[in-house]
Amino acid sequence: MDNLAEAEKLHGFSKLRKCCEKVLQEDFDWVWIDTCCIDKTSSSELSEAINSMFSWYHMSEVCYAYLDDVEESSTSSVEEKFRRSEWFRRGWTLQELIAPNQVVFFAEDWSEIGTRKSLVDEINDITRIDRDVLLGFKLPVEFCVSQRMLWASRRETTRVEDMAYCLMGLFDVHMPTIYGEGNQAFIRLQHEVMRSTTDHSIFAWDGRGIVYDMQMDVLAPEPNVFQGFRATPYIIRPIPFKDFARRFGMDSYSPEYTATNHGIRIRLPIKESTLRNGEHGYTAALACYIGDQILLGLRLWRVEGTTDQYYRVGHLIEITDLDPKSFTIKDLYLAYRSRSRALRGRLGVSIMLLPVDTPCRYSPRRLHPCRRWAVGTRE
β-pair type (317-319, 237-238): unpaired
In whole angstroms, give the CA distance from residue 358 to residue 146: 41
What mean pLDDT comes out for the span 144-162?
96
DSSP-assigned beta bridge partners for residue 273: 281
Peptide bond into 369 cis (omega under 30): yes
Give the global pTM: 0.83
* The pLDDT of residue 186: 97
The ranges assigned to domains in the chain are 4-134, 241-346
Among 287, 283, 345, smallest CA distance to 314 is for: 283
Given a cut of 70, whether residue 354 has pLDDT beyond it is: no
What mean pLDDT comes out for the span 12-33?
89
* The pLDDT of residue 36: 82
Coarse DSSP helix, strand, coil percentages of the chain, rounded to the nearest 5 percent:
35, 20, 50
Query: Greater confidence, 99 or 339?
Result: 99
In whole angstroms, give the CA distance from residue 89 to residue 371: 13
pLDDT in tens, 50-105: 999 999 999 999 999 999 999 875 566 888 899 999 999 999 999 999 999 999 99
CA 149, 151, 154, 159 torsion-angle sign: negative
* The pLDDT of residue 41: 85
CB-count exposure of residue 263 (10 Å: 0-12, 13-18, 19+): buried
Given a cut of 70, whether residue 239 has pLDDT beyond it is: yes
* The pLDDT of residue 342: 41
* The pLDDT of residue 348: 45
Question: How does residue 168 score in pLDDT terms, banded at 50, 70 and 90?
Answer: very high
Among 239, 250, 217, smallest CA distance to 330 is for: 250
Given a cut of 60, whether residue 251 has pLDDT beyond it is: yes
- Which helix (DSSP H) or strand (DSSP E) does residue 370 occupy? none
Question: How does residue 185 score in pLDDT terms, banded at 50, 70 and 90?
Answer: very high
* The pLDDT of residue 347: 44
pLDDT in tens, 256-306: 899 999 999 999 999 998 766 667 899 999 999 987 788 999 999 999 899
Given a cut of 90, whether residue 308 has pLDDT beyond it is: yes
Given a cut of 80, whether residue 5 has pLDDT beyond it is: no
* The pLDDT of residue 291: 79
Question: How does residue 213 score in pLDDT terms, banded at 50, 70 and 90?
Answer: very low
Among 166, 168, 170, 172, smallest CA distance to 147 is for: 170
**Are 97 and 116 spatial neighbours (Cβ–Cβ below 8 Å)?**
yes
pLDDT in tens, 126-147: 999 999 999 999 999 999 999 9
CA 367, 370, 373, 376 torsion-angle sign: positive
* The pLDDT of residue 379: 52
DSSP-assigned beta bridge partners for residue 331: 267
**Are 226 and 149 spatial neighbours (Cβ–Cβ below 8 Å)?**
yes
* The pLDDT of residue 137: 96
The per-residue b/e assignment along 11-39, b for 16 or more CB within 10 angstroms, e otherwise, is eeeebbeebeebbeeeeeeeeeeeeeebe
**Are 129 and 98 spatial neighbours (Cβ–Cβ below 8 Å)?**
yes
Given a cut of 80, whether residue 164 has pLDDT beyond it is: yes
The per-residue b/e assignment along 169-194, b for 16 or more CB within 10 angstroms, e otherwise, is bbbebebebeeeeeeebbbbbbebbb
Question: How does residue 322 score in pLDDT terms, banded at 50, 70 and 90?
Answer: confident
> For the chain, what is the mean pLDDT?
85
| Length of the chain counted residue by residue | 379
